[in-house]
């Protein structure tokens, strides 16, 4: 039975991962400061309230318990906020992550799965984006994630710490059983906001820009179901536990959908009226972000189950309508 520490296990992606690990009978410890996560989203495992900035707490935890691997989901994720408050992002996403890595090193835990992002690539030079694409982030958020990716390469060379960096494109959807879903506060992501407009929790959805160089003028993104994302983490964990080397993977479906297409699909799925208001472009949004995820399929045997946009929205709708 693998012993896994899930840092940020009360958040959107972390909580789905904890459920997945529980189904595989792993011994799970969740460490979360509940700054963005929800205690009731942690369906299984031991819960420890705390922050990775707290070295003493980390040292105590790693002394008390042994771990085969650490999965790290605890970071700030808003591009706009990272531009306004870079210090918050560098401190938490970089400095606190290094703190965690140092305690892992002291404790001899040498396997790490890291939540990275498409934002490490910056403006796409070509599409779809594969792992060879240059990483030139255009905002502090993307830079913080790239810095950790680079630190992990150095930790591997110097200390033998093996890691998998998973670069998510647009994580979306919800647990197909309806137990878990996206509950960010404030919510900034398109699909939950569109569904809040459908359920009446919000008056409308704003479309940030209709003048992009795309067929309908709205931004194109590659939405990947949270369950498929978690499966990629699970396969990455198995890969590390069986002694494979460090690796980075881009995770998406390789299909781009425009903001307008997402709204149209949400209208079909929900059967509701969704009011749309046109708004200016949001700073830092590339026109198109689509993943080439062939490497994850080849090397990990990853096979997304819910690649269809309507299924992704349907599961998110089930959660929104709970």
198-237 binders of ligand UFG (CB under 6 A): 205-208, 219, 221
Q: Tell me if residue 141 is catalytic.
A: yes
Tell the smallest beta-carbon distance from residue 279 to ligand UFG (Å): 7
Element (H, E) at 239: helix 226-241
275-314 binders of ligand UFG (CB under 6 A): 282, 285, 289
Question: Closest CB to ligand UFG among 17 and 259?
Answer: 259
Answer for which of 6, 26, 190, 232 binds ligand UFG (CB under 6 A) is 190
Question: Closest CB to ligand UFG among 157 and 277?
Answer: 277
Tell the smallest beta-carbon distance from residue 68 to ligand UFG (Å): 28
Binding to ligand UFG by residue 257, rule CB under 6 A?
A: no
Q: How far apart are CA 190 and CA 193, in angstroms?
A: 5
DSSP strand E in 77-196: where?
A: 111-117, 162-168, 170-172
Assess contact for 6 and 18: CB atoms under 8 A: yes
Question: Closest CB to ligand UFG among 141 and 234?
Answer: 141
Assess contact for 316 and 192: CB atoms under 8 A: yes
Assess contact for 307 and 315: CB atoms under 8 A: no
Kindly name the residue from 12, 89, 141, 249 that is annotated as catalytic. 141
Assess contact for 309 and 258: CB atoms under 8 A: no
Please tell me the count of residues contacting ligand UFG according to CB under 6 A. Answer: 21
By CB under 6 A, name the binding residues for ligand UFG.
Answer: 77, 79, 117-119, 141, 170, 188-190, 193, 205-208, 219, 221, 259, 282, 285, 289
């Amino acid at each position: 039975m693998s012993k896994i520490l899930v840092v940020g296990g009360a958040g959107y992606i972390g909580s789905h991962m904890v459920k997945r690990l529980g189904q595989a009978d792993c011994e799970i410890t969740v460490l979360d400061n509940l700054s963005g996560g929800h205690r009731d989203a942690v369906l299984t495992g031991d819960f420890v309230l705390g922050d990775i900035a707290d070295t003493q707490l980390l040292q105590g935890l790693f002394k008390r318990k042994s771990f085969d691997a650490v999965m790290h989901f605890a970071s700030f994720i808003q591009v706009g906020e990272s531009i306004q408050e870079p210090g918050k992002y560098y401190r938490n996403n970089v400095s606190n992550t290094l703190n965690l890595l140092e305690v892992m090193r002291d404790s001899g835990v040498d396997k790490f799965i890291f939540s990275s992002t498409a934002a490490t690539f910056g403006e796409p030079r070509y599409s779809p984006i594969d792992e060879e694409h240059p990483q030139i982030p255009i905002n502090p958020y993307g830079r913080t994630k790239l810095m950790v990716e680079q630190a992990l390469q150095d930790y591997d060379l110097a200390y033998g710490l093996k890691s998998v960096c998973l670069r998510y494109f647009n994580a979306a959807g919800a647990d197909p059983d309806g137990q878990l879903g996206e509950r960010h506060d404030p919510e900034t992501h398109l699909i939950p906001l569109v569904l809040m407009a459908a359920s009446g929790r919000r008056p409308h959805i704003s479309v940030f820009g209709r003048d992009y160089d795309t067929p309908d003028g709205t931004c194109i993104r590659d939405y990947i179901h949270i369950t498929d994302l978690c499966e990629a983490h699970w396969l990455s964990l198995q890969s590390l536990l069986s002694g494979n080397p460090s690796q980075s993977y881009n995770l998406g479906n390789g299909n781009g959908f425009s903001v307008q297409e997402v709204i149209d699909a949400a209208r079909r799925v929900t059967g509701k009226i969704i009011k749309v208001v046109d708004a200016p472009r949001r700073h830092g949004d590339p026109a198109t972000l689509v993943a080439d995820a062939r490497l994850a399929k080849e090397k990990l045997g990853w096979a997304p189950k819910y690649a269809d946009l309507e299924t992704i929205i349907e599961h998110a709708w089930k959660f929104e309508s709970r």
